[in-house]
C-alpha cells in the first residue's frame, strides 16, 4: 500500500466552510444516485444488481458503469458498487470471440448487448475501481474477489491476441499508448490516465508492471503534445503523435478532430494526475492555458464546439456543464489568476436535470470529489 497522502480541499482553500462542502457532497451523491425522475442515473435491478443509464441515449455504457463504481468506492457505497459490478459482469462481459476478456461498451437496460466491441476507458476504470474496492473493503469470493478481477482485466488489456484469448490488445505495445478500441490504430486523449498506470505498476501482475510504469511516462508525454499550446484544447480522437485524427471511417457520424465531448475530460485528468503524483512533464501547461482561454466565454456562459486552435465551429456545445466543471478540476494542476473564479463558478453551478444529464453529471461528480479532496487513492 502507498504512504498516506493529504488531499487538497480546494473549496476550503477559497473560503468555503468544511461543513458546507460535506453537506453539498451528500446532496450531490443523493442527486446522482437517488434523486428520482429527471435527476438520478443509477437504477437498482432486483435484489443484487443495478446500472448507470445514459438517459439521453437510452443505454448502459461501460463508461458510466465504471464511473459509477469509482464514485461508489470513493463514497463508501459498497452495496451499490457490488450491484453495478454484478450487472456489468453478467451482461457486458464477453468470455470469447474477437474481444474475449473485454466488456461490451453499450447494452440495453434489459442486458442485451448493442455492440460486441469495447471502449478502452471502461476497462481501465473498472480495474482501478476494483483495486480500490479491494483495499477499502477487502476481497470477497468469486466476482467480488476484487483484486483478482482487476488483475485479470489488465492482463487481457495487454495480452489478448497472445495468450489464446481475443485477437488484439487494448494498448499499443510498442508505444505504450492506449488505443481508442483494440481494432483501430489511433487513440483518444481523454483515455490517458497516467495516475492510474502508476498504480497499475504497483498492483497488476508482476510481469506487466514495467509496462504500466512506461505507460505512465508515455501518457504524460502524449498529453503534453496533444494539448494545444495556446488554448489547452485536445481533440476528441488523436493520432499517436498527438495530432488530431481526421481520418474518416464508415461508423463515424461526425468529425472527431475538434474540442468536444470526450475532449473535456483531458484537462480534468491532468488535474487529478498532478494532485495524486505531482509529476509535470509539460502536460500541466494545458490546465493553465485552458483556464485563461475560456474565462471570457465562461463569464458569458457561452460554450461552443471549437477546433483545437480556438477556431469556433458552427454550433454551440450541448454540454453546457461539462466544460466549466472539467476546467475547474484542472486547477489541481495549475494555479492561475483565474483559478479561484473557475472554482467559485463550479461551486455555484447546479447539476443538470433532464435528458442530457448523464455525461454532464458524471463529470460534475468527478470534479466535486477531486476538488473537495475526496477522490483518493485507496
Q: Are 323 and 264 in contact (CB under 8 A)?
A: yes
pLDDT of residue 250: 78
Buried/exposed 133-159: b ≥16 CB within 10 Å, e otherwise: bbbebeeeeebbbbbebbbebbbbbbb
Indicate the average pLDDT of the chain.
Answer: 96
pLDDT at 42: 98
Q: What is the pLDDT of residue 2?
A: 59
Where residue 166 falls among pLDDT bands split at 50, 70, 90? confident
Q: Give residue limits of the domains in the chain.
A: 41-169
CA-based nearest residue to 235, from 261, 274, 272 = 261
Q: What per-residue confidence (pLDDT) applies to 353?
A: 97
Residue 17: which residues within 8 A CB-CB, separation 6 or more?
A: none
Residues 19-30 have a mean pLDDT of 98
Say yes or no: domain 41-169 is CATH 3.40.50.920. no
Furthest-apart CA atoms within the chain: distance in Å:
56
pTM score > 0.85 for this model?
yes
- Could you tell me what percent of the chain has a pLDDT over 90? 93
pLDDT band at 162 (very low <50, low <70, confident <90, very high): confident
In this prediction, residue 3 carries a pLDDT of 66
Q: What is the pLDDT of residues 25-84, one digit of tens each?
A: 999 999 999 999 999 999 999 999 999 999 999 999 999 999 999 999 999 999 999 999
Cell numbers for 84: 453495478
Identify whether the C-beta of residue 6 lies closer than 8 Å to the C-beta of residue 367: no
Q: Is the pLDDT of residue 1 over 70?
A: no
pLDDT reading at 341 higher than 60: yes
Residues involved in catalysis: 63, 262
Amino acid at each position: 500500500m502507498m504512504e498516506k497522502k493529504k488531499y487538497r480541499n480546494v473549496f476550503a482553500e477559497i473560503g468555503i466552510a468544511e461543513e458546507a462542502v460535506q453537506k453539498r457532497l451528500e446532496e450531490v451523491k443523493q442527486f446522482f444516485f437517488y434523486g428520482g425522475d429527471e435527476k438520478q442515473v443509477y437504477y437498482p435491478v432486483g435484489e443484487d444488481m443495478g446500472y448507470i443509464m445514459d438517459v439521453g441515449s437510452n443505454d448502459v455504457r461501460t463508461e458510466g458503469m465504471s464511473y459509477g463504481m469509482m464514485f461508489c468506492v470513493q463514497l463508501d457505497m459498497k452495496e451499490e458498487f457490488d450491484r453495478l459490478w454484478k450487472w456489468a459482469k453478467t451482461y457486458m462481459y464477453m468470455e470469447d470471440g474477437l474481444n474475449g476478456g473485454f466488456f461490451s461498451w453499450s447494452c440495453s437496460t434489459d442486458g442485451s448487448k448493442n455492440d460486441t466491441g469495447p471502449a478502452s476507458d471502461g476497462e481501465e476504470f473498472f480495474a482501478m475501481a476494483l483495486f480500490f474496492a479491494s483495499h477499502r473493503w477487502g476481497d470477497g469470493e468469486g466476482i467480488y474477489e476484487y483484486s483478482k478481477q482487476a488483475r485479470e482485466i489488465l492482463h487481457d488489456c495487454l495480452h489478448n491476441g497472445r495468450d489464446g484469448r481475443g485477437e488484439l490488445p487494448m494498448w499499443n505495445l510498442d508505444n505504450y499508448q492506449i488505443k481508442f478500441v483494440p481494432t483501430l490504430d489511433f487513440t483518444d486523449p481523454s483515455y490517458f490516465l497516467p495516475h492510474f498506470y502508476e498504480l497499475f505498476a504497483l498492483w497488476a501482475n508482476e510481469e506487466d508492471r514495467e509496462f504500466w510504469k512506461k505507460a505512465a511516462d508515455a501518457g504524460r508525454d502524449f498529453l503534453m503534445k496533444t494539448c494545444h499550446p495556446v488554448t489547452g484544447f485536445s481533440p476528441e480522437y488523436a493520432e499517436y503523435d498527438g495530432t488530431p485524427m481526421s481520418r474518416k471511417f464508415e461508423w463515424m457520424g461526425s468529425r472527431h478532430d475538434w474540442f468536444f465531448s470526450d475532449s473535456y475530460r483531458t484537462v480534468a485528468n491532468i488535474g487529478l494526475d498532478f494532485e495524486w503524483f505531482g509529476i509535470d512533464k509539460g502536460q500541466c501547461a494545458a490546465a493553465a492555458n485552458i483556464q485563461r482561454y475560456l474565462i471570457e466565454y465562461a463569464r458569458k456562459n457561452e460554450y461552443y464546439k471549437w477546433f483545437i486552435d480556438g477556431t469556433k465551429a458552427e454550433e454551440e456545445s450541448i454540454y453546457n456543464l461539462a466544460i466549466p466543471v472539467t476546467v475547474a478540476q484542472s486547477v489541481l494542476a495549475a494555479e492561475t489568476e483565474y483559478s479561484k473564479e473557475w472554482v467559485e463558478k463550479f461551486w455555484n453551478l447546479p447539476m443538470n436535470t433532464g435528458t442530457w444529464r448523464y455525461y454532464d453529471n458524471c463529470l460534475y461528480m468527478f470534479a466535486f470529489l477531486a476538488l473537495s479532496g475526496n477522490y483518493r487513492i485507496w
